[in-house]
Amino acid sequence: MLTASLVVIAGVVAALQVGKLPPALPSLQADLGLSLVESGFLLSMVQLAGMLTAILVGLVADGFGLRRSMYWGLLVLSGASALGSLCTQTAPLLLLRAIEGMAFLWVSLPAPALIRRLVPPGRLASMLGVWGAYMPLGTALALLGGPFFIPNFGWSGWWLLFSVLSLLMAAVLYRMVPLDVELPVRSAHELRRSLATTLGQRGPWLVAVMFGMYSAQWLALMGFLPVIYSQAGLGGAAIGWLTASAAAVNMLGNLASGRLLQAGRPAHKLLWMGYACMALGSLVAFASWTDGMPWLRFAGVLLFSSVGGLVPATLFALAVRLAPSDRQVATSVGWAQQWSALGQFFGPPLVAWVAARAGGWHLTPWVTGSCCLAGVTLAWVTAHHLDRLAQQGARP
């Protein structure tokens, strides 16, 4: 279990690279003159590589080596973050964020398949629930530390800090996690056939689109919370604690999902509960009728994030379960990650655009509610798909 835990920690370190930007946005806006929509694209640029290539990264991860992929991903994250600390203009910073997004995939996509190899089958669901918390944990740590670190060392020092952390994690992973089992290199024809097999199944598509519906709204809300609180007149320490708390409670849903799945709770019911509470939480947090009630709004954010955490861990388990075969697990997770990245790429700019047109954040629940409605519908379709597979005696 130690080696599987190190895989999760490596994911947390990679997630720090995604989460390092939101607390730095006020400083970057001041230094580089970013507009609100430009800030949204800077938030989502790290997802560009995932939006375009995640399934391909997952496709080749088994042949390249799961641990080897994570190791090199951490090294590239370290280098890109170090170079980013030197940027004085927006364009090169955007490019480096895209590179960080590619390296993030190298770390995150092989992890579920590697965890599957490292833990007994009876512990897989609960461990995947722990893995599902890697993103909110990394985001929460970055959001909590940023307001204390950045005023003293600047956003460039913040970038250098995560460069060092990624380099150290690469060394630990290389030292402590066993070398990949050598697998025969698959030919281009075999890779194409594996890709066609994955995309020809309904299960990976359902999981992937549901991931997109979740991630679009989660990153948008978490990413803009520092800006929203700053506009409300809160100080850096308060912003850090409030935003970090909102991200951290997402772990509760992730961990609960692993335990509930292990106990035999139906996946679609966990998804329904997660999406429903995200819709309700967003409504309470941003609707005009809660204006002037900051603690009620914060309670809505906590509901959105905490119970919404049921969704990603459940989807990770479904991605493994609905893969056509063991050799397509990383590919299926890659397809889910690609849609997750698609949601994270378009979600923040869309929410920012709606807020800019409306002159405030009060129309945000229309965006998040639409995503939740789509997610609930797809979860219902997934439940019927799983029933059909069970009747046919298929892999799940």
pLDDT of residue 233: 67
CA distance 89 to 68: 33
Residue range(s) defining the domain that contains residue 366: 2-177+186-392
Query: Could you report the per-residue pLDDT of 112-159, keeping only the tens digit for each?
Result: 888 888 888 777 777 877 887 788 788 778 877 888 898 888 888 999
pLDDT of residue 394: 53
Q: Mean of the pLDDT values across residues 255-269?
A: 87
CB 332 within 8 A of CB 207: yes
Query: Could you report the per-residue pLDDT of 172-226, keeping only the tens digit for each?
Result: 999 988 876 555 556 667 767 878 888 888 989 999 999 999 988 887 887 777 7
The token duo for 101 is 């997004």
**Looking at residue 205, which CATH number applies to its domain?**
1.20.1250.20
According to the per-residue pLDDT averaged within each range, which of 17-31, 78-92, 219-233 is highest?
78-92
CA distance 267 to 381: 12
pLDDT at 288 over 70: yes
Instruction: Report the domain count for the chain.
Output: 1
Query: Could you report the per-residue pLDDT of 41-65, keeping only the tens digit for each?
Result: 777 677 677 777 777 777 776 667 7
Banded pLDDT at 247 (limits 50, 70, 90)? confident
Residues 6+ away with beta carbon under 8 Å from 61: 69, 109, 110, 113, 330, 334
Query: Could you report the per-residue pLDDT of 62-89, keeping only the tens digit for each?
Result: 667 788 889 999 999 999 999 988 887 8
